[in-house]
Structure formats: structure tokens, C-alpha cells
Amino acid sequence: MGVAGTQEDGRIARGNQSRQLILRRAVDIASVDGLQGLSLGQLANELQLSKSGVFALFGSKEDLQLATIRAAITVYLEHVVQPARDLPSGVGRLWRLCTAWLTYSKERVFPGGCFFFAVSAEYDAREGKIHDTLAAARTNWFTYLEQTVREAQLAGEIDGDTDVPQLVFEIVALLEMANAESVLHNEFTCYDKAAKAILNRLRAVATDPSLLPETP
């Protein structure tokens, strides 16, 4: 490899580092101020980066917004989905997903609480790529939860006649209510209330309630 190739590799590496730096800050800002609150120029100033370099990495504000959503998905998977992946299929795995979500919100992995709860409210009545990307992410989450419930049914740990979509709807409603109340009022007892309600719901559909703890 010649000098030109080495220089090109160096520029690519620096560009990737800058991109990751920008997106780490962008997800935090968007969780509080919304995706509309993102500004390429503001990010460049705040992170002391070249404005021209930042604009070269993201061709438009919409490109930045879409990249921010993708970055947030990666963080979400790491904190919510990954902790339960190594557990065997069953009601315990479903419960672990729920507790991981509550921890993700409670510990403010994103400063504004759940990133997707915040920005989905911003775009739920709009049309376009951002709406569609957020809607797809939400559908994927619901689908994953439903799949986890059905796998628990196949493992014989959740009653076979359980209304899966209804159960998942109730779980997500409780998770998101805890997040909304905590962020709005800056209090955290709502997470305990949500955990208790979800656990009671899961124990009610479990074929053997002793597979779950009696209290959160």
C-alpha cells in the first residue's frame, strides 16, 4: 500500500470516529429535544469539529436524523435485548426483557428516558422516512416480544391459550407508562409499580408461577 492509500485509510478512520462521536451526542440531544432539535452546525460547534467535515459526513438534517435513530437502535439492543439473549426460551426470559427495559429507562441510558418513546410522539402523526423508520423499529420490538412469548408457550411455560398480542400490548403499556411518569415528574417509584404489575400478569399466564419471583 502506498502513501496515498495510507492517507486515505487515515481519513476514513477519522471520519468514522467523528461520525460515532456526533451520533453519541445526537442520540442524547434527541431524547430530550427531539429529532427536530438536532442541528449539524450546533453539533460541530459543541464537539469542536469542522463544520465542513460534519456536513460531509451527513448530507442533510434528515440523514443525520435517520443515522441517529439507527444509533439509538444499537444502544437499545445492547441494553434491553442483549441481557436476555443467553437465557433459555421461557417465561424467565420474557421477564428479563421487561426488567432490562425498566433498568434502561430508570438508569437514563438516554437522558430523556426511552429514546423511542420520546421521538415517536414527535413523529407519530407525520409522514415520511423518519416516521416509517420509527414505526418499523416499534413493530420490530412488538414482534420480538410476541416471539419471546410464543417461544415460552412452546417451552410449556406460558399457557397455550394466552392472547399473545394482548399480553404484549399490556406489557409495553406498563413499561412506557413508567418511563413517561418518571421523566415527567423526575421520580422513580413508578418503575417498581410497573414491575409489580407486569410480574403479576406473567405469573397469571405462567403454567408454573414458581418459575418467576414472587416479588420484583
The dotted CATH code for 3-208 is: 1.10.357.10
Q: Where are the domains of the chain?
A: 3-208
pLDDT for the residue 13: 52
Quickly state the pLDDT bin for 49 (edges 50, 70, 90): confident
Please, which residues have CB within 8 angstroms of residue 147's CB and are 6 or more apart in sequence?
none
Q: How far is 212 from 31, CA to CA, in rounded Å?
A: 33
- Is the per-residue pLDDT at 17 higher than 90? no
Return d(Cα 145, Cα 140) in angstroms, integer: 9
Judged against a pLDDT cut of 90, whether residue 14 lies above it is answered with no
What is the percent of the chain with per-residue pLDDT over 90, rounded to a whole number?
Answer: 83
Query: CA–CA separation, 194 vs 179, rounded Å?
Result: 9
The pLDDT score that the predictor gives to residue 29 is: 96
Q: Would you say residue 73 has pLDDT above 70?
A: yes
Specify the range with the lowest mean pLDDT, choosing from 12-26, 97-111, 133-147. 12-26
Percentage with pLDDT > 70 across the chain: 93
Residue-wise pLDDT for 152-197, tens only, equals 999 999 999 999 999 999 999 999 999 999 999 999 999 999 999 9
